[in-house]
A = this chain, B = another copy of it.
Amino acid sequence: MLKITIWNEFLHERQNPVVTAIYPDGIHKALEKNLGPYFAPQEATFTTATLDQPEHGLSEERLANTEVLLWWGHLAHDQVSDAIVERVQQRVLNGMGLIVLHSGHASKIFRRLMGTGCMLRWREAAELERLWVVKPGHPITDGLAADYFEIPAAEMYGEHFDIPDPDELIFISWFQGGEVFRSGCTFHRGKGKIFYFRPGHETYPIYHQREVLLVLANAIRWAKPCGSNYTHDARHVPQPLNPWN
């Protein structure tokens, strides 16, 4: 069973009635409920965690039992404790998958893993977004019916998006108002896989949309830990190999 934790700062939903109407129990609970049907029985198990919990809900034990972590934050990036950010980073380097959602681009954990500012242009004008698939054979696009899908009303994010070149660029968004954006990007840090996915503004029902959920379910499977049994220790290896004797 793939162990998934959905982290949410859970503030907008308790402050803004527009958001409450869309996500009455919070974005984290909506994602948990909506993603469930995209997994087979016994394939995945979900937990949620929020900013206001002790250790933001991300204790050592919780992270040790998380294989893929989803991260949604916006208003309160600065309230996330540096110690927890450090803990999440180490867990990623040791193999945990991390899916950074929408305004999570400016979260401490994403910026720390990227090494850059991760800023961008933005505008809230309920405009049309078209996400074009630029890597159509990638597992994260599995099952999408066509070469793009649309979000009818979205916040705009535009380039330049100040990230390192992604390891793989999966989606590029077109916005009605004249901008483009690298909306689906993969990165690898240590043994961990990271997927940044742009859609998800709190005032639009984006996490109720089928294509968005399909992409997230694909990304969760893609990000699950795997690989060699290597661990990230620095190692002094005093003896050279002498294959000639």
* A interface residues with partner B (beta carbon < 8 Å): 89, 93, 95, 112-117, 119-123, 125, 127-128, 130, 132-139, 141-148, 156, 158-162, 164-165, 167-169, 172-180, 182, 187-193, 225-230, 232-245
Contacts and interface: CB of A to CB of B under 8 A. Distances in A.
Contacts of A232: 117, 119, 160, 162
B136 A230 contact: yes
Taking the full assembly, how many copies of this chain does it contain?
Answer: 4
A177 B228 contact: no
B240 A136 contact: no
Given A115-B115, A168-B165, A232-B162, A127 B240 contact: yes
Contact of A159 (B133, B156, B242, B244): B133
B159 A123 contact: no
A165 B162 contact: no
A23 to B, nearest CB: 24
A103 to B, nearest CB: 12
A244 B241 contact: no
Nearest to A222: B139
Nearest to A158: B237
B226 A139 contact: yes
B180 A142 contact: no
A236 B123 CA distance: 6
A123 B240 CA distance: 8
Given A169-B169, A174-B178, A136 B238 contact: no
